[in-house]
């Protein structure tokens, strides 16, 4: 039965030799084998730390293993090799029925897998004698199916377990990139480890996702977002408040390198300008753009108030016409808002994700924007969904991130808006109060700065 718990089996870590180096063991049975009991025995001899259980509904073989398990499945003509270090899903085409296992640090729970289609399977076996490389999908921040481990809490007569800490998604993405990425060079010579397409979902209902495994400066997040909302492109306004995140991008040397010799501190038509004046002709940071272009942010709030079921509540910072005028292209390119059951959720698409420096800031910034819009529209915060295109770790961030992975997440903080605010432009820094932020110490990472036309962010 689904959720059936079996006696524990030791979960000692075993590393097995390739099949051709183990002459005393029988090879896995071929595609045409009819004896299913022999198939099971053959698989258990290869995977001694996992319990295998047949399911007649499907024709793939699947394993889900924790970091305690190390599995090496030998390659063969009619099957693909599988290997895992970490909590990953692996799928194999073949004639075997589906099997499943779930490893736990303390005990082994044996359970069937849900009968849903995997997001990715191999469609053909490798050539005869070929050695194939295992394909490992993201362990966290993805839409992979999860196994059913225990009956529902109400059936057991106990309280449901608390949900996993949201920060584990971010840490899991870091682990996945370190293990399963491709090396990509850039024109600045730093280099990155990169994967394509990742996603994480953070609840905003009773907490606020300001990361705790290193200190993220709340004042920088808050003042930076208020600066965006204002529509400003003047980096000196932030610098005067002690927020230095845009100083390098607005510096004389950096702007000179882009050919903007008369624009010290002027970042060009970046995020705030596109949010409030999309399509307007950009002149400089001191010009008055009142009434020019499309005020996307105001349209978002108006639509949520008047037609919350609208499916195109979208705000876009990506304007190809203006890219040549910006100090940096907008990595968080587009966000969409969604209303259901009195809750407002936001999904951000970020085409280029700097996992070490940019991600913690952007998670907090767009979560805060969701809080603010929910407040003025009479809704409650729901979820923040973060979708990444090129998710990468700069080579000089690898060791700092490994240090961060050694830390245990602490409880997320609580965010309060202290007074009723009617319009998005009326928010001030003193309207917000955070409670319970107790992060680990700061981890220093160097910022990599590149323009859209001289490298990749």
- The CA distance from 254 to 232, in Å, is 19
The structure tokens listed for 362 are 């952007």
Catalytic residue among 65, 88, 180, 331: 331
| H-run or E-run covering 344 | strand 343-354
Give DSSP secondary structure letters for 58-98. Answer: -SEEEEEE-TT-EEEE--BTTB--EEEESSEEEEEESSSPB
- The CA distance from 93 to 235, in Å, is 54
Is 331 in the active site? yes
Q: Tell which residue, 274, 258, 402, 257, has the closest CA to residue 331.
A: 274
Contact 359, 170 (CB under 8 A): yes
DSSP class of residue 426 equals G
**Which position has the token pair 């002027």?**
266
Q: What is the dihedral of CA 352, 172, 361, 259, to 10 degrees?
A: -30
Q: Tell which residue, 292, 285, 283, has the closest CA to residue 237.
A: 285
The structure tokens listed for 239 are 């610098």
Contact 17, 45 (CB under 8 A): no
Q: Find all residues with CB under 8 Å of 303, minimum gap 6, and list them.
A: 310, 313
Contact 317, 333 (CB under 8 A): yes
The structure tokens listed for 355 are 């996992």
| Terminal-residue alpha carbon distance, the chain | 50
The CA radius of gyration of the chain, in Å to the nearest whole number, is 26
- The CA distance from 218 to 215, in Å, is 9
Q: Tell which residue, 417, 388, 369, has the closest CA to residue 140.
A: 388
Q: What is the dihedral of CA 237, 242, 248, 251, to 10 degrees?
A: 50
The structure tokens listed for 213 are 């495994």
Q: Find all residues with CB under 8 Å of 124, minimum gap 6, and list them.
A: 93
> Backbone dihedral region of 53: left (phi > 0), alpha (psi from -120 to 50 degrees) or beta?
beta
Active site residue ranges: 331
């Amino acid at each position: 039965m689904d959720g059936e718990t079996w006696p524990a089996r030791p979960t000692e870590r075993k590393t097995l030799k390739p099949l051709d180096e183990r002459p005393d063991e029988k090879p896995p049975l071929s595609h045409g084998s009819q004896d299913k009991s022999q198939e099971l025995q053959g698989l258990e001899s290869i995977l001694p730390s996992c319990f295998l259980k047949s399911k007649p509904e499907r024709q793939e073989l699947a394993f889900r293993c924790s970091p305690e398990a190390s599995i090496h499945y030998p390659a063969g003509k009619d099957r693909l090799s599988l290997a895992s270090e970490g909590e990953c899903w692996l799928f194999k085409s073949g004639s075997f029925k589906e099997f499943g296992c779930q490893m736990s640090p303390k005990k082994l729970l044996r359970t069937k897998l849900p009968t849903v289609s995997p997001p990715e399977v191999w469609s053909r076996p490798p050539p005869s004698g070929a050695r194939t490389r295992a394909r490992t999908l993201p362990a966290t921040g993805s839409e992979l199916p999860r196994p059913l481990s225990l009956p529902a809490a109400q059936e057991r007569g106990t309280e449901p377990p608390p949900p996993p800490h949201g920060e584990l998604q971010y840490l899991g993405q870091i682990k996945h990139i370190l293990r399963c990425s491709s090396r990509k060079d850039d024109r600045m010579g730093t280099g990155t480890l990169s994967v394509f397409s990742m996603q994480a979902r953070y609840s905003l209902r009773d907490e606020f996702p300001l990361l705790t495994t290193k200190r993220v400066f709340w004042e920088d997040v808050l003042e930076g977002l208020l600066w965006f909302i204002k529509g400003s492109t003047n980096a000196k306004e932030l610098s005067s408040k002690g927020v230095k995140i845009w100083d390098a991008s607005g510096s004389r040397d950096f702007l000179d390198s882009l050919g903007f010799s008369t624009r010290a501190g002027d970042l060009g038509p970046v995020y705030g300008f596109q949010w409030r004046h999309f399509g307007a002709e950009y002149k400089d940071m001191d010009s008055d753009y009142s009434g020019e272009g499309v005020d996307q942010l105001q349209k978002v709030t108006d639509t949520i108030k008047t037609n919350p079921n609208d499916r195109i509540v979208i705000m876009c910072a990506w304007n190809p016409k203006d890219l040549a005028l910006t100090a940096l292209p907008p990595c968080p390119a587009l966000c969409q808002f969604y209303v259901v059951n009195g809750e407002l959720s936001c999904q951000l698409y970020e085409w280029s994700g700097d996992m070490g420096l940019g991600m913690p800031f952007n998670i907090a910034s767009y979560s805060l924007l969701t809080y603010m819009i929910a407040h003025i529209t009479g809704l409650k915060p729901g979820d923040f969904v973060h979708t990444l295109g090129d998710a990468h770790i700069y080579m000089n961030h690898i060791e700092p991130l490994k240090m961060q992975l050694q830390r245990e997440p602490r409880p997320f903080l609580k965010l309060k808006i202290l007074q009723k605010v009617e319009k998005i432009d009326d928010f001030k820094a003193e309207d917000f109060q955070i409670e319970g932020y107790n992060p680990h110490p700061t981890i220093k990472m160097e910022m990599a700065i590149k323009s859209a036309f001289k490298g990749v962010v």
